Structure 1
């Protein structure tokens, strides 16, 4: 084989391996009802679950034909999985440098990234009822006596509520710098004293005034949960949240010191992420058992601070470790709650339509994937709204 021909072959192989897109010969999903698996979920067809089948199929096809590196979509309504489809694509779990190609399916764990924060938010409510965590108005530094030297410059006024709602005012640079060495989140993976690392910085604004995304807030909240419960984060989430929901296959990755990365380490199957959505829609109960106090969910989803996160809508807000937004369909506006993770991980919960939508992807450090995910959500919501309107 000639030198130039070998180069062309190598280039072809590199492009083929790198492409996250399905082959043009790969058939599109037929939009049939999901397969019933031995995982506790019931399944239903689109019409039987109150969807417009043609519009739901269009949503699945939009997902399957997207030029983006999308991996999975699961649609759940009324306790039944109504639609799901998966794609092969490139994935880069934490600390891996080179992407790997994965054929995703119902049994494949996926990085949840910052959806982990919303799960910690649920755990805070569970622990509050379980062991009696301090009130959210408590100044955080009151709970860490060894940080008495940091109780100056306004930091002594930062409350637990400020951490829950990402408005401590601390100077922290994270949003828009994922993958860069200057991202303050990176220090959480190796610093010995996480609360000191988070609080040993000046205030950029007064506490409680402005939103600033800060994974350190979640890390400090997780530290307090572990101190007050006497359990590791992994052990506590297993006993108090995942086991009651029947979630048995999961991982919570650790940092360079062996601690759970509370802010970004969770790995779940998409169907199991949908269980969390159904738990929220059921007011914190699962099969008649209270798992998360309903009052805590109500507090978590109260708008605390406005912030225009891409894909959430111009009127989006942040609650306690959860995003709040709206979507329009059929001339109506529907509020949703959302857990959001870097790379295209999404859990959308639309109460007025009794709807849960899960999306996963591998577009890490690229916020440009948000409009594509929002397009898929819009189509699914349109299907649910149209089907509900047509049901007598």
Structure 2
């Protein structure tokens, strides 16, 4: 099925001052700790700006991290309307096979609504505890650890709460989340590929792991902006948008920081309230911002530890650019924005495409972790170089698996196999090779430096992968893999 493109328009025709969007782009590009990957802005139902920073491209899915939760929420909305679950069901009632083991009154009192609103009563993130207690059934591992407070009385951002909701949905529907959502949400919105990571139980995670294109997330945001109606047809149950996106539980001060005001506005059913509108968001800058007052949707994918800074820039530059009526005399600004969006690109790592001298020493050379210490949790143990007719290849070994990266001859060199990745960089001096590997279906960049004198390498992540335990899994999951 080929999706009908979203309606598009000039910014001015939809009352958006293109100079404000240009200022936002300037600010994103100037921030050394924000690496933007895509931006899409809709106003009055029209795409007024869309751009991808090369080597990222429109057709690629991108790992959404916890923005996945808002899609799990949507599945819950459908299941509620179909009578498959109730918000006042106890969580344990959906798992009678181990109900006898769950004896703590608070664990037994936890409702589906508590799991859905991150108000299980626990005071700390429980994901490692749940999986560590029972990897074969993390819901059991979660419920075996009693909440410190009564469910419903306190917010704690807690992955197993969402996981439990997702597990219930997959149990009562007999389908994966993505299969359940396909005829109800994804196909009606014109969303094609949707890939969701699974854990050892075979379930889709629910709390993370969904890979979608920026366009798909924009369609999702537009559906929520329109109160669940798409092209004149109601998709979401009436009243669901208001219920899912209102503040069910206060969050002020519960994230352990005082400098993130957009996380202090309250939490809904797997949606955050914001200082402006509401949002789904995921680690490192994956945002779907729904702004009813501006009649706008803003979607970003990115790699940054400073997610509040991204929101601050949107509020500072984009909100004032949304005007109450179409603009006149703005053709030059609109044209400048089109040109800017077409030329967005991440700066490649620098370096020469071949050793400036002693090439024979580099050919076939192997490198071990500097100081003998594995540099990251994926267990990267070796780097080997080979020269071929098409240039140089670096082969990374982690956990006995080998991933070959073609170094290329300048700029970003994109490969699809063994996984979608772009590589840039090269020799910075006769004894040093440094290259960056951008895993194109994720936010993540790995930078590796090899030194010939030591036959050693160092590796560092710009942003640390949270789900993948192996390099070859830094991609959208492949069916059957």
Offset of residue 313 of structure 1: 2.8
Q: Is the contact made by 1:359 and 1:373 (CA closer than 8 Å) also made in structure 2?
A: no
1:355 to 296, 301, 305: 296
SS at 2:262 equivalent: coil
2:231 equivalent to 1:287: yes
SS at 1:106 equivalent: coil
Offset of residue 324 of structure 1: 0.4
Structure 2 CA distance for aligned equivalents of residues 288 and 372 of structure 1: 33
Offset of residue 110 of structure 1: 0.6
> Structure 2 regions of 5+ residues with no counterpart?
329-481
2:177 equivalent to 1:233: yes
Q: Is the contact made by 1:188 and 1:216 (CA closer than 8 Å) also made in structure 2?
A: no
What is the match of residue 11 of structure 1?
Answer: none
> How do 1:209-220 and structure 2 match up within 5 A?
209-220=153-164
Moved over 3 A (4+): 308-312, 389-392
SS at 1:45 equivalent: coil
Deviation track 1:291-317 (CA, whole Å, cap 9, x = no partner) reads: 111312111122111214665537511
Q: Is the contact made by 1:120 and 1:222 (CA closer than 8 Å) also made in structure 2?
A: yes
Structure 2 CA distance for aligned equivalents of residues 50 and 69 of structure 1: 28
Structure 2 CA distance for aligned equivalents of residues 188 and 52 of structure 1: 51
> Structure 1 regions of 5+ residues with no counterpart?
1-36, 89-102, 175-182, 327-334
Q: Is the contact made by 1:170 and 1:199 (CA closer than 8 Å) also made in structure 2?
A: no
SS at 2:319 equivalent: helix
Deviation track 1:278-301 (CA, whole Å, cap 9, x = no partner) reads: 000111111222211131211112
The two structures have a TM-score, normalised by structure 1, of 0.76
Going from structure 1 to structure 2, the CA distance change for 1:207 and 1:190 (only over 3 Å counts) comes to closer
Going from structure 1 to structure 2, the CA distance change for 1:75 and 1:165 (only over 3 Å counts) comes to same
Structure 2 CA distance for aligned equivalents of residues 311 and 357 of structure 1: 19
Offset of residue 143 of structure 1: 2.4
What is the match of residue 112 of structure 2?
Answer: 160
Larger radius of gyration: 2
2:76 to 119, 124, 129: 124
Structure 1 CA distance for aligned equivalents of residues 186 and 260 of structure 2: 28
Structure 1 CA distance for aligned equivalents of residues 316 and 113 of structure 2: 32
1:371 to 295, 309, 317: 309
2:196 to 246, 252, 255: 252
Structure 1 CA distance for aligned equivalents of residues 326 and 218 of structure 2: 26
What is the match of residue 148 of structure 1?
Answer: 100
What is the match of residue 272 of structure 1?
Answer: 216
2:195 equivalent to 1:243: no
1:49 to 14, 24, 43: 14
Offset of residue 161 of structure 1: 1.1
SS at 1:317 equivalent: coil
- Structure with the higher fraction of residues in strand conformation: 2
Query: Please, what is the CA RMSD of the aligned residues?
Result: 2.4
Q: Is the contact made by 1:189 and 1:255 (CA closer than 8 Å) also made in structure 2?
A: no
Offset of residue 349 of structure 1: 0.3
Going from structure 1 to structure 2, the CA distance change for 1:256 and 1:157 (only over 3 Å counts) comes to closer
Deviation track 1:83-140 (CA, whole Å, cap 9, x = no partner) reads: 122224xxxxxxxxxxxxxx1121121110001111100110012223x133212222
Deviation track 1:141-198 (CA, whole Å, cap 9, x = no partner) reads: 2222122321324212111111111011135426xxxxxxxx5278289821122011
2:44 to 69, 78, 90: 78
How many residue pairs get matched? 320
What is the match of residue 343 of structure 1?
Answer: 284
SS at 1:228 equivalent: helix
Structure 1 CA distance for aligned equivalents of residues 77 and 226 of structure 2: 15
SS at 1:84 equivalent: strand
1:59 to 24, 29, 39: 24
The two structures have a TM-score, normalised by structure 2, of 0.62
Q: Is the contact made by 2:73 and 2:269 (CA closer than 8 Å) also made in structure 1?
A: yes
Is 308-317 or 232-241 further displaced after alignment? 308-317
1:316 to 265, 268, 275: 265
Is 260-269 or 50-59 further displaced after alignment? 50-59
